[in-house]
Chain A
Amino acid sequence: MFDTALTWNDLIFLAHGAGMTLMVTAVSVVAGTLMGIVFGVLRYQAGPVWSLPLTFVLDIFRSVPLLIQLVLANAFQAIARLGWDPFTTSCVVLSLYTAAFCTEIVRGGIEAVPHTTRRAARSLGMTWWHDMRYIVAPLATRVSLPAWIGLTLGVLKDSSLVLWLGLIELLRASQILVTRLQEPLFILMICGAIYFLLSFPVARLGGYLERRWSPND
C-alpha cells in the first residue's frame, strides 16, 4: 500500500508556496501588461527609428536569461542601497521581462488593424484617442489574446526562478519538502499538478474569450 510522510501541514506549506507563485505572477503580469501596452503604442506611434532606444532596452530583457536578470538586479539594488526585499526585486524584474514580450504583442496587434478601418473612423470625426479606444483596442485585443495567454502561462512557470532570491514559492516549497521527506517523485508530482491547476483557468479563459468573440468576425 502507498505510504507517505506528507502531512496536512506540509500541504498547507505547499499551498502557501503556490500563493506566492500566484502573487508574483499576478503582480508581474498586470504591471508588465500595462507597461507593454504603453511601450507597444509608443513603438507603433514612434516608428522603428525613433523607438530604437526603447527597442534596444526591451531586447536586453527579452534576450538575457531570467535567472541572470534576477541575480544581477538583486545585486544592483543592494549596491544602490534601494533596500528592496526579494519580493519587490522579483516583481520588478519579472514585470520588465513580461513588458518586453508584451510590447511586441501589442505592437503586432495594433499593426493588424487595417489602416482603412482606422481611416474610416477618423473620417467620422473621431480623434486619435477615440480611434485607439473604440476601434484599435478591441480589434487588437482579439488578435493579441492567444499570444498574451501564452506569455502569462510562461511567466507563471518562469516565476519559479525567483526562488534564487530566497522567496519560498511553489517550487522552492516543494524542494524543501523533498529534502526533508526524501519523496521527490511524489512531491514533484503534486507540485506539477498545482502548476497545472493554476494554469488551467488562464488557458480556458483564453478559449472562452475567443469563442465569445468569434461570431463577430
Chain B
Amino acid sequence: MIEIQNVRKSFGSLEVLKGIDLTVQKGEVLTVIGGSGSGKSTLLTCINGLEPIDSGRILLDGTEVHAKGTDLNKLRRKVGIVFQQWNAFPHLTVLENVMLAPRKVLGLPKAEAEAIAVKQLTHVGLGDKLKVYPSRLSGGQQQRMAIARALAMSPDYMLFDEVTSALDPQLVGEVLDTLRLLAQEGMTMICVTHEMKFAREVSDRVAFFHKGVMAEIAPPAELFGAPRTPELQTFLSATH
C-alpha cells in the first residue's frame, strides 16, 4: 500500500505539490492526468525518494520513504519507475541492461539474472533483441526495455511517468499494450499519462491534478462521465 499524506513540495518559490493526500491499494491501477506543471510527475519521483519532500509523509508498506533512517536503495527495489525518456544504458546490450541491477543490487548469480532478464524481455516482446545495443532499437522498443529492466527487480509497485509522451504516435500502442498486460496481471501501478483512452480502459481510479492539487479522484466512468470541477471539464474538453 502506498500512503501519501499531506505532501508538500516546492522548487524554489514555486509550490508544485500543495498538500496531496492519496492512498493506493495493492493491486490497484491508478492513472494520474492533468496539465503540464500540475505536479503529477514530481509526485512519482517523490514516492521512490528520488526527490525530497518539504512536509507530509509518504509510506510504502508502512515504511516512511523520507525518514532519516530509511535505506532508499533497499526501498527502491520494491518500486520500479519508468520515465518519459527511456534512459537506456547505451554501453550495454539489451540483455545486459536488464541483468545489471539483479546482478549488482540483488547479488544474483549470472545464470539466474540472465534467466530473469530473458523472461522479462520476452514478456514485453523483445525476446529476439537480447544481444542488440539500445541504439539499434526504436523508441518504443527502448521504452519496453526500460519497463523490462524495472520489472526484473520484481517490484511490488510500478510507477510510469508519461512513458509514451516522447514516442512517435505509431509506437505509443505497443507500449500501452505492455502496460495493459501488467495491469491485467495485477501489478500495482501509478501511471501519469496523457492517454485518456488508456486511462479510461485500465484504471481502477483516475486522479486529476491541477496546479499542485488533486482536484478530483474517482473511478474512470464517473470522472470522465461526470466531471465535477470546472478545471477538469475544461481539461477534458481540451484533450478530446
Interface size grouping (class) on chain B = 20 to 34
* Neighbour of B105 across the interface among A120, A130, A213, A217, CB < 8 A: A130
Residues of B within 8 A of A217 (CB): 90, 135
A134 B83 Cβ-Cβ under 8 A: no
Pairwise interchain contact B85-A134, C-beta atoms closer than 8 A: no
Contact indicator A139/B73 (Cβ below 8 Å): no
Please state if B135 and A124 are interface contacts (CB–CB under 8 Å).
no
Instruction: Kindly state the separation between the CA atoms of A124 and B50 in the bound complex, as whole angstroms.
Output: 11
A126 adjacent to B101 (CB under 8 Å): yes
Given contacts A117-B87, A139-B91, A213-B91, contact A130 B135 (CB under 8 A): no
Contacts of B73 in A (CB 8 A): 122, 125-127
User: CB of B153 within 8 A of chain A?
Assistant: yes
Asked if A123 meets B91 with Cβ closer than 8 Å, knowing A134-B104, A215-B133, A216-B133, the reply is no
Within 8 Å CB of B101, what residues of A?
A: 124-126
Query: Counting CB contacts under 8 A, is A42 at the interface?
Result: no
Complex interface residues of chain B between 8 and 57 (CB less than 8 A to chain A): 48, 50
> Which residues of chain B are near A124, meaning CB under 8 Å?
76, 80, 100-101, 105, 149-150, 153
Q: Kindly identify which residue among B87, B133, B153 contacts A120, using a CB–CB cutoff of 8 Å.
A: B87
Given the known A-B contacts A121-B89, A139-B91, A216-B90, are A116 and B83 also in contact in the complex, defined by CB atoms under 8 Å? yes
Q: Which residues in A have their C-beta under 8 angstroms from that of B85?
A: 116
In the assembled complex, the Cα of A122 lies from the Cα of B73 at a distance in Å of: 8
Residue B197 is within 8 A (CB to CB) of chain A in the complex: no
Report if A204 contacts B (CB, 8 A). no
Contact mask for chain B residues 102-134; partner A; CB cutoff 8 A; 1 contact, 0 none: 001100000000000000000000000000010
CB within 8 Å for A216 and B135 given contacts A124-B153, A130-B105: yes
Scan A177-217; emit 1 where CB is below 8 A from any B CB, else 0: 00000000000000000000000000000000000010111
With a cutoff of 8 Å between Cβ atoms, the chain A residues found around residue B77 in the complex are 125
Q: Which residues of B contact A135 (CB under 8 A)?
A: 89
Residues in A whose Cβ lies below 8 Å from that of B91:
138-139, 142, 213, 216
Complex: how many Å from CA A133 to CA B10? 32
**A215's closest neighbor in chain B, by CB?**
B133
**Inter-subunit contact A123/B105 (CB<8 Å):** no
Q: Given the complex of chains A and B, what is the CA–CA distance between A122 and B89 in angstroms?
A: 12
List the B side residues contacting A116 at CB < 8 Å: 83, 85, 87
Contact indicator per residue, chain B 78-106, by CB within 8 Å of chain A (1) or not (0): 00110101010111100000001100110
Given known pairs A116-B85, A130-B104, A135-B89, the reply for A125 and B76 (CB within 8 Å) is: yes
Report Cα–Cα, A123/B150, bound state, in Å: 9
Is B74 at the interface (CB under 8 A from chain A)?
Answer: yes
Interface residues of A in 121-172 (CB under 8 A from B): 121-127, 130, 134-135, 138-139, 142
Q: Across the interface, name the chain A residue whose C-beta is closest to B136.
A: A215
Closest to B104 in A: A130
How many angstroms between the C-alpha atoms of A135 and B133 in the bound complex? 15
**0/1 string, B147-184, CB within 8 A of A gives 1:** 00110010000000000000000000000000000000
| Contact A120 B76, beta carbon cutoff 8 Å | no
Can you name the residue of chain B whose Cβ is closest to the Cβ of A114?
B87
Provide a sorted-by-A list of 20 A–B residue pairs whose CB atoms are within 8 angstroms. A119-B83, A120-B83, A120-B87, A120-B146, A123-B48, A124-B80, A124-B149, A124-B153, A125-B105, A125-B153, A126-B100, A126-B105, A127-B73, A130-B104, A134-B104, A139-B90, A142-B91, A216-B90, A216-B133, A217-B90
With A121-B89, A125-B73, A142-B91 known, 18 other A-B pairs at CB within 8 A are A114-B87, A117-B87, A117-B89, A117-B90, A120-B146, A123-B81, A123-B150, A124-B80, A124-B150, A125-B74, A125-B101, A125-B105, A126-B101, A127-B73, A130-B104, A134-B100, A215-B133, A216-B92
- A-B pairs, 4 with minimum CB distance: A120-B87, A124-B101, A125-B76, A125-B77
Instruction: Give residues in B with beta carbon < 8 Å to A.
Output: 48, 50, 73-74, 76-77, 80-81, 83, 85, 87, 89-92, 100-101, 104-105, 133, 135, 146, 149-150, 153
